[in-house]
Structure formats: C-alpha cells, structure tokens
Amino acid sequence: MNKRVKNVQISGIRRFYEKVQKVEGAISLTLGQPDFNVPENIKKSMIKAIEENKTTYTSNAGIEELREEISKYLRTCSINYNKDEICITVGGSEGLYVILSALINEEDKILIPSPAYPAYESISNILGGTVVNYSLNEDFTLNINEIKKKIDEQNIKYLLLSFPSNPTGAILSKEQRDDLISLIKENDIIVITDEMYSAIIFDEYYSVAQSEEVKEKIIYVSGFSKIFSMTGLRVGYFACSNKLMKELIKVHQYAVSCATSISQWGALEGLKSCLGDVEKMKNTFEKRKNYCIKRLNEIGIDVVDPKGAFYIFPSIKKFNMSSEEFCTRLLKEGKVACVPGSAFGDFGEGYMRISYCYSGDILTEAFNRLENFIKTL
C-alpha cells in the first residue's frame, strides 16, 4: 500500500454516521444534502437525454452547451470565465482532487482553513503535500492577518478558501475579499476557492474570483450537488485561466475521461429553468436557520449566526467534554445525531455541526430532544 494512503483516516463524518445507524429511533441532523427533490425539469431533461441516446463520452471538458451556460451564470455573480476556461467534473470532489493532484509536488505547503471540509486536508496528505492550517476569527470569518503571517513565515505555495463554509456557514465580506486580492497580488501563490454553496447565501456574495487582476492565480471550484439537490448525480466544475487549464485537464482526462453525460444535460436544464426553485429552497433554508438559532439561544448554547450553506456550528465548550463525547452522549441519551466538530479538523474541537436540511417537524422534535438532554447535564 501507499504509505500516505495508509496514514489517512476515514472521514470523521462517515465514522459518526456509522454510529448513528446503530441507534434506533435517533433523529439525524448530519446530512450534507438538501431534503428537496431534484427539480422536475432536470429529471425530464435527463430522461430525454437517455431517450435521445446522449449516453456516449462527451468531450473531456464536458458538453459545450453546459460550459456556455455556466459561463453565463457566473457572469451574473460578476465572475468572468469563458467556456474554454471551464471543465465539468464528477461532482465538486473530483474537481478538488484534479486540482490538488495537478498542483502539489512532494512537500509543497498548502494553507487550509480549520475547521473545514475534511477532504482538503486528506487529499493533500495523500498527494504528499504539507498541510499548514490557518485558524479563523471567533465568528469563523477570515482572519487575513493570520494568513499573511503564515505566508510570510513559511514557503506557502497554495491557499485554499472555502466560502460559504462547511461546517460553519461563514461567508466572505467585501472588505475581506479586497484584502485577499491585495495579498494574492503581492505573493507568488495559487488560490483554490471552493464555492460549492455559493447559491445558498443569505447576504451579499463576494469572491476572489471576481477579480480580473489576479485571475491567473485563481482556480474556482463549484458544482450542482447542493444548488439542485443532485448529490448522487455527480456533476460539478472548475474554472481557471487557459494556462492552468492546459495542465489540469490532463489529470481530469486520465482520471474520468468526462463527467456523466446524462447528468451534464440535467445540470444544463437546471441552469436554464430551475433557478427559481433554488431561490425557494434558499428562502426555506433561511427560515429554518432562524428557527435553529432561536432554539439554540433559548437553550443557552452559544452560536454564531451563519450567512450561508445549510449548517450551524454551535459551541459546546461549556459542557467540558470533547465534541466526540458530547455528540456520542447526545446520540445515545438524547437520540439526536450531530457531527462532532473534531471531524472538521483540530480547530473544530469544542463545536458540533448541525445540518438543517430537514423538515420543520423534524427540527422541532430534534431541538426538543436536545433541550431535554442539556437539562440532564
């Protein structure tokens, strides 16, 4: 076996999920997938694609129609990439894997936020990179001084950004975006910005990918798993300058040839006719988020109001238990499952992740149970 693979652990989210399966009657608030069905038009377009035999390989970069439509969509977010600067991938996950595989030489240093989506660190470790974590402000927003310091003190090659964040729901402000752009201009680094949840933001949207000045140094990653609730259909994309694309596409080609043809046609229809469904989903998420915050406040649990995605990351520090212990007891005694913060890196310790991809009734019952459990501590 490759030694680096042997040293990588199975994701803490997955490990905890196995525990949840064994507890009868538990309500799970652990899923990272919207509880909405795929919009009808997407389903129909995929059925039509099958009937029209659009089941062959597509070009490596993906069907031109979809890349054109993504380009148009990104322009509505003030991000400019033409169709040749976009590559369709097998979910956001493949995009991340391709990018990091193409970039990382052995021992290259990559700056990764903590807490964060666990794949960044594990992929970098598998590829032999050296992970340097950067912590965030108390409210999980970007601490630009921390990043500056790390870049100045260490030979950092890549910076990974992740907004809206899984697990915290934090987003990037205008000021933070502008500070980051200045920093990117001054330093010889490549920035990977993972924006899987960019369609689910309850505030203004800002991204470093909006800057033409640093475009050559940015790789933008996103996808359709969350926006169209199509996690199992596996379609995402990355966008970058032609110079970077020329290299990245080699890895993508040898890994998967192309993303699933049927799913690409589905995503195309989604962008053309389902953005109204996305808006409705986002409004529902915001209402649920407000309900969760209200209940957590009433129970007396410290929490930062998230501005995007569909997760909340409350502090459980005052209960003097590790997040694993707290979540295991909450599961066994309270019959509610939340993901321990430690699953998202060292700086996630002391927190737990609640997903609110669940109906109002389920959330109400889960918070009643959480409240009763807390009373027993």
Using CB under 6 A as the binding rule, whether residue 121 contacts ligand PLP is answered as: no
Among 69, 85, 121, 194, binds ligand PLP (CB under 6 A): 194
Shortest distance in whole angstroms from residue 117 CB to ligand PLP:
4
Residues 208-247 that bind ligand PLP (CB under 6 A): 223, 225, 231, 236
Using CB atoms, what's the residue nearest to ligand PLP?
91
**Measured CA angle at 217 (ends 216, 219), to 5 deg:** 100
Q: DSSP secondary-structure letter at 342?
A: G
For residues 348 and 133, is the Cβ–Cβ distance under 8 A?
A: no
Using CB under 6 A as the binding rule, whether residue 367 contacts ligand PLP is answered as: no
For residues 309 and 356, is the Cβ–Cβ distance under 8 A?
A: no
Among 166, 176, 198, 263, binds ligand PLP (CB under 6 A): 166
Kindly state the tokens that stand for 130.
Answer: 């050296």
Using CB under 6 A as the binding rule, whether residue 207 contacts ligand PLP is answered as: no
Among 12, 34, 91, 169, binds ligand PLP (CB under 6 A): 91
Binding window for ligand PLP (CB under 6 A); candidates: 58-66, 90-98, 335-343, 353-361: 90-98
Order of strands across the sheet that contains 352-355: 311-312, 352-355, 339-340
For residues 107 and 267, is the Cβ–Cβ distance under 8 A?
A: no
Using CB under 6 A as the binding rule, whether residue 140 contacts ligand PLP is answered as: no
Closest to ligand PLP by CB, 230 or 370: 230
Shortest distance in whole angstroms from residue 364 CB to ligand PLP:
25
Using CB under 6 A as the binding rule, whether residue 196 contacts ligand PLP is answered as: yes
What are the distances in angstroms from CA 371 to CA 162, 315, 333, 335, 374? 31, 15, 12, 12, 5
Closest to ligand PLP by CB, 239 or 301: 239
In sequence order, what DSSP letters do the residues of 9-37 get, joined into one string?
PPPHHHHHHHHHHTSTTPEE----S-SSP
What are the distances in angstroms from CA 77 to CA 44, 176, 180, 236? 27, 17, 18, 17
Closest to ligand PLP by CB, 58 or 225: 225
Binding site for ligand PLP (CB under 6 A): 32, 91-93, 117, 162, 166, 194, 196, 223, 225, 231, 236
